[in-house]
Amino acid sequence: MKEQSVVTDLRRQVFAEVARVAFDSDNVSGDIEAIPYKITPDEEPRYRESIYRERQIAAERVRLAMGLSLRPANKPVHITAGVDGSNISDMYYEPPLMQVIPSACDKCPDNVYEVTNICRNCVSHACIKACPKGAISIVNGKSFIDQSKCIKCGRCKASCPYDAISHRVRPCAQACGIKAISSDEYGRAKIDNSICVACGQCMSACPFGAIADKSQIFQLIQALKKGDKIIAAVAPAIAGQYGPKTTLAKIKTALLKLGFADMFEVAEGADLGCIAEANHYVHEVTTGKLPFLLTSCCPAWAVLAKTQFPDFVEEVSQELTPMVATARKIKEKDPEARVVFIGPCAAKKLEASRKSLRSFVDFVLTFEELAGIFAAKDINPAELEESPLRITHTTGAGRGYAVAGGVAAAIERTVKQYYPETEVKIEHAEGLADCKKILMLAKAGKLKGCLIEGMGCPGGCVAGVGTIIPPEKAKVLVETFSKSSENQIPESEWLEYAERLTKMK
């Protein structure tokens, strides 16, 4: 779960400074080199043991915010090395997306039991009795755990009446639901990119801000300055992100001030996916052609299913995700347009970079990155007038996709409306650890006939790593936004379209 902190403040400051350089600089290399000094202007360090380390870390954040890779730790490389290749209006990510900044990692202990100063050297010595390996003794009047003997079973902690034994777990590793994080030879966090699904929960969890993802801020601004026709596709989770009184119409005004040509709701694509997956469930799962159906709108969930459960490729819905469906709709109407998905999710960046999708989605920004761009241009969406919105039939079903359980609920309501005789069996999981558990149940044959929704982030898209406000607050605002929709489920014409597609397949 994302919490607002000094780490998030520093991230947004970097985004804003990079955006300022992209918009206004005549000396990109020089101004980029100066950003770490703007972020850490004093001679006394605020967060690290030296100002030099703080500036080194800031420099690496700047590189990632420009879409560049980290510099090698053992070679002299300028912050702006490779900037010419990045200073363009069309660039996708060079994997990996998520990276550990070595100089920022504090080498947190991982899975270590330690006795704290709360220990009272009680007579019971329950911890000593509980340890199956004789790893605990009394040293200087306190219990002491010999780490060479400890097997990390936790029995000592469970037995201590004073809770004097601490279980120290690396926050990023604890947040990773698929165990993609380990330690390198120096004790720093290391991401296994062969299994990482780029959900970004590790990035949110790290209290040192040692994990960051790459951004397309710089490239998008170059496209805006060049005069490209840029259209924003905003995710439903945007409700409330820029203040409770900031409406979609005000956000559109803010985007127009930046140079965007128009704005679409991604909920339009969600509606199409909702009706298509409802149709898919009725014609494929209830007939026994497929044992179950996995929704596909969350890229972290879909990649987890396809990579760790390759036998499930057919069961993952083949319908376009809301992001891609909306982008395709935009480009069908205007082939010259370039589409920017604006949402809460880091994993969408990798989804958009897939070769099969590049013709639809040109850029991906998180809400947090967009906030940095607004700050660079001194734009406060809450203070702006409202711009006319496009007339659409976007429904509460599509807008509700942003909350965990919302996808399955939307599909269930649609099935009940258009196929009232069909019984719908729903299962959903949120957080990758639970997603993996539910996939194992499906593999064991225990979820036959089910529509299974998975969300990589606990709480759904409203808890994505690119969000700004607390997930609990965002959930309420999204649900209110969803309920305010004139239509609550997609219209029957969309069902007819989905059924025609099914027959074509």
Least confident residue range of 14-18, 45-49, 144-148: 45-49
pLDDT tens for residues 361-375?
999 999 999 999 999
Q: Quick check: is 242 in a domain?
A: yes
Please compute the mean of the pLDDT values over residues 288-305 and round it to a whole number.
93
Burial class (CB in 10 A: 0-12, 13-18, 19+), 490: buried
Are 121 and 56 contained in the same domain?
Answer: no
Residues 444 and 322 in one domain: yes
Q: Counting beta carbons within 10 angstroms of the beta carbon of residue 112, is it exposed (0 to 12), middle (13 to 18) or buried (19 or more)?
A: middle
Q: What is the pLDDT of residue 322?
A: 93
Please check whether residues 431 and 450 belong to one and the same domain: yes
Given a cut of 80, whether residue 494 has pLDDT beyond it is no
| Number of domains observed in the structure of the chain | 3
Q: Give the CATH number of the domain where residue 141 resides.
A: 3.30.70.20
Q: Does residue 71 share a domain with residue 157?
A: no
Shared domain check, 325 and 443: yes
Residues 100 and 121 in one domain: no
CA distance 224 to 220: 6
Structure tokens that stand for 303 in this block: 């990649």
**pLDDT (average), residues 141-147:** 96
Kindly state whether residues 283 and 299 are assigned to the same domain: yes
410 and 347 in one domain? yes
- What pLDDT was estimated at residue 355? 72
pLDDT computed for residue 85 by the predictor: 74
Q: What is the pLDDT of residue 499?
A: 57
394 in the same domain as 254: yes
Question: Model confidence over 55-75: pLDDT tens digits?
Answer: 999 999 999 999 998 998 888
Amino acid at 300: A
Asked if residue 131 and residue 67 are part of one domain, the reply reads no
**Tens of pLDDT, residues 454-464:** 999 999 999 99
Strands 181-183 and 189-191, by their bridges, are antiparallel
Distances (CA, A) of 452 to 87, 197, 429, 438, 475: 42, 19, 8, 8, 21
Which of 68-72, 137-141, 249-253, 403-407 is least confident?
A: 68-72
Confidence of residue 78 (pLDDT cuts 50, 70, 90): confident
Look at residue 505 and tell me if it is in a domain.
no
**Same domain, yes or no: 270 and 413:** yes
pTM, to two decimals = 0.92
Q: What is the mean pLDDT of the chain?
A: 92
The region, left, alpha or beta by phi > 0 then psi within -120 to 50, assigned to residue 464 is beta
Q: Which of 168, 185, 202 is the last residue of a domain?
A: 168
Domain extent at residue 127: 112-168
**Range list of H helices, 259-388:** 267-280, 299-308, 322-333, 347-353, 367-376
Residue 486 counted as domain residue = yes
Q: Give the integer Cα–Cα distance in Å for 467 and 18.
A: 19
pLDDT band at 205 (very low <50, low <70, confident <90, very high): very high
192-206, 272-286, 435-449: range with lowest mean pLDDT: 272-286
pLDDT tens-digit series, residues 235-246: 999 999 999 999
Q: Are residues 234 and 371 in the same domain?
A: yes
Q: In sequence order, what are the beta bridge partners of 307?
A: none
Which residues, at least 6 apart from 207, have a Cβ–Cβ distance to it below 8 Å? Answer: 5, 7, 171
Nearest to 151 by CA among 129, 136, 166, 171: 136
Residue 397 lies in a domain: yes
CA angle, corner 171, sides to 169 and 174, nearest 5?
70
**Concatenated DSSP letters for 351-380?**
HHHSTTTTTT--EEEEHHHHHHHHHHTT--
| Concatenated DSSP letters of 399-468 | HGGGSTTHHHHHHHHHHHHH-TT---EEEEEESHHHHHHHHHHHHTT-STTEEEEEESSTTSGGG-TT--
Judge whether 296 lies within some domain: yes
Is 127 part of a structural domain of the chain? yes
Per the domain annotation, does 223 fall within a domain? no
Residue 224 is assigned to a structural domain of this protein: no
Report residue 493's pLDDT band, with 50, 70 and 90 as the boundaries: low
Pairing of strands 211-213, 98-100: antiparallel
